[in-house]
């Protein structure tokens, strides 16, 4: 089964609360995730305030700068993971640093 893992970052101040040693360990932790067999790395995204939200109403395209609603968690990145089952995807999601830093990882099966 192939899954998409949507990585949400929680508290934007969480990074500043980490020790220097913890901050230096994060890139290696993400690199280890990307090197896991079955993982297809995605891309990290810019912060939500750089977004443009698009809606179509009555045939008109409307745009709004930034996210449309105030949110505590925002998608910061994603990856794809081909695994035997959901339990394997959950184990991988638990290794993603954002999940331990006030964020969350949403796992969605992909249509095959």
Domain boundaries, the chain: 2-109
Exposure pattern of 74-108 as b/e (b: 16+ CB <10 Å)?
Answer: bebbbbebebeeeebbeebbeebbbbebbbebeee
Tens digit of each residue's pLDDT (9 = 90 or more) over 13-23: 777 788 899 88
Strands (E), the chain: 2-9, 39-44, 52-57, 60-65, 74-82, 104-109
Instruction: Give the per-residue pLDDT at 60.
Output: 95
Please check the confidence at residue 104 and state whether its pLDDT lies above 70.
yes
Of all residues in the chain, what percent carry a pLDDT higher than 70?
Answer: 92
DSSP, collapsed to helix, strand or coil, labels residue 97 as: helix
Superfamily of domain 2-109: Dimeric alpha+beta barrel (3.30.70.1060)
Residues 55, 38: contact at Cβ < 8 Å?
Answer: no
pTM given for the model: 0.80
């Amino acid at each position: 089964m192939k899954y998409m893992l949507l990585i949400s970052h929680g508290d934007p101040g969480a990074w500043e609360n980490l020790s220097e040693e913890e901050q230096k360990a994060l890139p290696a932790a993400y690199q280890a995730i990307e090197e896991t067999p079955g993982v297809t790395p995605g891309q990290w995204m810019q912060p939500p305030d750089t977004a443009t939200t698009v809606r179509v109403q009555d045939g008109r395209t409307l745009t709004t700068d930034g996210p449309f609603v105030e949110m505590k968690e925002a998608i910061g990145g994603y990856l794809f993971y081909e695994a035997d089952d959901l339990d394997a995807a959950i184990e991988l999601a638990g290794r993603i640093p954002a999940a331990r830093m006030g964020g969350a990882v949403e796992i969605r099966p992909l249509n095959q």
